[in-house]
Amino acid sequence: MSTLPKVAWIGLGIMGSPMSENLVKAGYDVTGHTLERDKLDRLAAAGGTAASSVAEAVRDADVIVTMVPASPQVEAVAYGPDGILENARRGALLIDMSSITPQTSVDLAAAAKEKGIRVLDAPVSGGEAGAVEAVLSIMVGGDQADFDEAKPLFEALGKTIVRCGPHGSGQTVKAANQLIVAVNIQACAEAVVFLEKSGVDLAAALDVLGGGLAGSTVLARKKDNFLKRDFKPGFRIDLHHKDMGIVTDAARNVGAALPVGAVVAQLVASLRAQGDGGLDHSALLRAVERLSGARV
């Protein structure tokens, strides 16, 4: 019989499905809940157990992981008579891996403590590919003892796992991550349009750029998206728009100026307003092409 903790997984989207499946592969007993029947069937086919409600999923769990789109969804699954806090056992560890506001994480930890439930905020970076390959970067906020307990589980999901400080710290670092990624994608998109309009072989140019100081994980991961104009969502513009709102609000609260970040936040919002919110964030290239007179 496995001595690993029993896991409840709430949210089986682009990230949640492969992450929960990696826990199953690592030997964890995983019971999942999400709103889409096909995602529940996928988890069951991978060796997990499907639950018909949040309450059913978390009732016997030692560890509960949430991976949902934003703060409202975290609050929806955490609070209320059918939520996590009312149905999880005392002593359970709740790990929220969603990308939400730092304050939401702080508030959740306080509310959970009253129920005897421990909380870590543990958002991730690496996109769908990182989730599938179990090479995510995981930035964690919460108590050291809880982090130490969760470390083996995190190691089944990612490669870079760091406790960043108390509750909310993981979300603050994730907000900074999303700022860097968005600005990087925008710079790559502008370079792509500049190179193509200059008549340069784009594939050759991106190869050599990737080997120099301009190289980045963003360029390596998104190069094929740019070359093929393949914007199948690995991380949707809709979600990056949400994250840019988080980082600009949080920066305002602490008095940090984000002049370039504010511009990129508006470009992300503009792309979303043009109907491209469901595309991968590499579709920022489409916005640059439109500004440059291309028909896309």
Calculate the dihedral angle through the C-alpha atoms of 75, 30, 156, 101, rounding to the nearest 10 degrees.
0
Q: Which of 39, 174, 222, 223 is catalytic?
A: 174
Q: Are 127 and 235 in contact (CB under 8 A)?
A: yes
Report residue 108 as tokens. Answer: 């959740």
Distance CA 214, CA 293 (A): 26
Task: Report the candidate in 87, 99, 80, 25 with the shortest Cα–Cα distance to residue 61.
Answer: 87
Alpha-carbon distances, residue 76 vs 68, 73, 161, 171, 188 (angstroms): 10, 5, 27, 18, 37
Distance CA 53, CA 5 (A): 20
3-state secondary structure 245-288: HHHHHHHHHHCCCCHHHHHHHHHHHHHHHHHHCCCEHHHHHHHH
Residue 46, classed as helix, strand or coil, is: helix
Residue 174 appears among annotated catalytic residues = yes
Catalytic residue positions, numbered: 174
